[in-house]
Chain A
Amino acid sequence: GQQVMQIPQYQHVQEGEDFTTYCNSSTTLSNIQWYKQRPGGHPVFLIQLVKSGEVKKQKRLTFQFGEAKKNSSLHITATQTTDVGTYFCAGRGTNAGKSTFGDGTTLTVKP
């Protein structure tokens, strides 16, 4: 079945440093979504990427979808303490209506 792998599992950064998490699927995706989950909270939808090579920005966050639609990345510029949490990618296969979540990358930011 479809597998979605996310790296790294954990990332500790100093406030102001950049952060990137990578998501790789074993199969081609129809779309990929990114979520953020704060400790003790529930996943919150951040963005969806659909097109091959698509790049979207939300303030300090930059999302990319690979040309082959099998990988994606989330990059945060100049991290802030409010960025802490676990970032999940979820890839939706081309033949299924469900999404498979990666294991998440937990970001901690040292002030």
Chain B
Amino acid sequence: GAVVSQHPSWVICKSGTSVKIECRSLDFQATTMFWYRQFPKQSLMLMATSNEGSKATYEQGVEKDKFLINHASLTLSTLTVTSAHPEDSSFYICSALLNRVDEQYFGPGTRLTVT
């Protein structure tokens, strides 16, 4: 149990376009999901906390207008990278909080490359 999926697993887009990444908890409901960004050989950097039915909480330095987060249901959160630039190229990982045991389960990640 406690499986989290992400779609797409990788995407290549042109500079200036927008990309949407989906994060789904497949076998449990998650009122809270997290979005992380990971650069090569580095740790996970929390970008924002996504709460079902309310606005996301962004970490300091993360542009909320650039990284749009929507958590419209208990099993789905989306991250949209708007007007993508090459410096947005990264590995984006989501996680869902399994409330009853207070554990985070991670999705497989999405590799974004902006050309």
Contact = CB atoms under 8 A, between A and B. Distances in A.
Interface residues of B, number: 22
> Chain A interface: which size bin?
20 to 34
Nearest to B49: A98
B93 interface: yes
A111 interface: no
A74 B44 CA distance: 19
Secondary structure type dominating chain B contacts: strand
A43 B44 contact: yes
A15 interface: no
Contact of B44 (A1, A97, A101, A106): A101
A25 interface: no
Contacts of A101: 43-46
Contacts of B45: 101
B106 A98 contact: no
B104 A45 contact: yes
A contacts with B: majority SS: strand
B63 interface: no
A21 interface: no
Contact of A33 (B43, B49, B60, B103): B103
Interface string B89-115: 000010101000111111111000000
Contacts, number: 44
B105 A45 contact: yes
Interface string A76-111: 000000000000101000000111111110100000
Given A42-B107, A97-B32, A104 B43 contact: yes
Nearest to B108: A42
B34 interface: yes
A101 B35 CA distance: 13
Interface of A: 1, 31, 33, 35, 41-45, 48, 88, 90, 97-104, 106
5 nearest A-B pairs in the assembled complex, by CB-CB distance: A103-B43, A101-B44, A42-B109, A43-B106, A101-B43
